[in-house]
């Protein structure tokens, strides 16, 4: 029983009941809500089930990890909130993204914009079709990121990626040296001995874009950066040679590098 007005009402008599009776007698007024969200601490998708009678919470529990479309949507929501760094970027996908980014900056459309903002805005286009209901970022196959990025590239351009922005440079020494695309200009870090005999500057994009060369010592320490290899051979090479011969006597430092044979090895012992 209640006494007084609603604002100052007092309960003067009450009868005990249990949750089972409530669920049975008021079943039509009870609502079950399931909320799918991303748990930052666990880096996984979680589902919380709440059973309510009006403003009263009767029960609340965590359900097993979801799958399918619910999981995919929760993954996308987490990316929109916390950024693309949550994704398991492997070396292949990260390198592809850097190459596409350089092509877009240098050549523009129709090469796709793969900046953070652009990829976040287009998650439904490039990532959602390749998700498979994974309930955590760890469970996402890194290969789907490469597939999704490639889907942004017009089909007739996909075959031109390697020609315009190759992953490696075939050095005169026979080595395949990776090209970096993580800066404004493509960079090739290579030991200087591997370029002996080369009298033209390495370039990509059908020879129109010179690589920035990070010339390295035999210990892979920087010697000099240049975008003019022929000029380096005919200019500062003499000073580099004088400095490096004493530090690395087991490696070749010819007076005329254009007449020397490129190599990735040290001199044989005793030579």
pLDDT in tens, 83-115: 999 999 999 999 999 999 999 998 888 999 999
pLDDT attached to residue 10: 66
Strands, DSSP E only, in 88-219?
168-170, 176-180, 187-191, 203-204, 209-210, 212-216
| Cβ–Cβ under 8 Å, residues 43 and 137 | yes
Put simply, whether the predicted model's pTM sits higher than 0.85 gets the answer no
> Taking 50 as the threshold, does the pLDDT of residue 2 lie above it?
no
Mean pLDDT throughout 112-123?
A: 97
* Residue written as token pair 């020494």: 173
Q: 6 burial class (0-12, 13-18, 19+ CB within 10 angstroms)? A: exposed
Reported as a pLDDT band with limits 50, 70 and 90, residue 182 is: very high
What does the alpha-carbon distance between residue 152 and residue 138 come to, in Å, rounded to a whole number? 24
Q: How far apart are CA 165 and CA 207, in angstroms?
A: 11
Sorted by sequence, the CB contacts under 8 Å of residue 163 that are 6+ apart come out as: 206
Distance CA 250, CA 254 (A): 12
CB-based contact 45:133 (threshold 8 Å): no
The residue-averaged pLDDT of 1-7 equals: 54
């Amino acid at each position: 029983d209640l006494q007084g007005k609603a604002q100052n009402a007092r309960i003067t008599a009450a009868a005990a009941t249990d949750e089972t009776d409530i669920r049975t007698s008021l079943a039509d007024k009870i609502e079950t809500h399931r909320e799918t969200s991303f748990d930052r601490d666990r880096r996984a998708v979680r589902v919380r089930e709440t059973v309510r009678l009006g403003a009263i919470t009767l029960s609340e529990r965590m359900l097993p990890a979801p799958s399918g479309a619910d999981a995919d949507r929760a993954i996308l929501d987490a990316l929109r909130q916390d950024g693309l760094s949550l994704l398991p970027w492997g070396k292949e996908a990260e390198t592809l993204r850097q190459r596409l980014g350089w092509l877009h900056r240098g050549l523009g459309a129709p090469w796709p914009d793969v900046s953070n903002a652009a990829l976040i805005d287009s998650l439904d286009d490039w990532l959602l079709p390749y998700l498979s209901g994974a309930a955590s970022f760890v469970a996402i196959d890194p290969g789907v990121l490469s597939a999704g990025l490639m889907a942004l590239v017009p089909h007739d351009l996909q075959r031109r990626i390697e020609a315009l922005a190759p992953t490696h440079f075939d050095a005169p020494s026979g080595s395949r040296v990776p090209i970096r695309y993580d800066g404004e200009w493509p960079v090739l870090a290579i030991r200087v001995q591997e370029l002996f005999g080369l009298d033209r500057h390495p370039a990509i994009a059908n020879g129109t874009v010179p690589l920035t060369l990070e010339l390295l010592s035999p210990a892979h320490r920087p010697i000099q950066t240049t975008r003019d290899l022929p000029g380096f051979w005919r200019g500062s090479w003499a000073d580099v040679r004088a400095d490096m011969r004493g530090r690395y006597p087991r490696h070749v430092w010819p007076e005329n590098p254009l007449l020397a044979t490129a190599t990735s090895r040290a001199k044989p012992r005793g030579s």
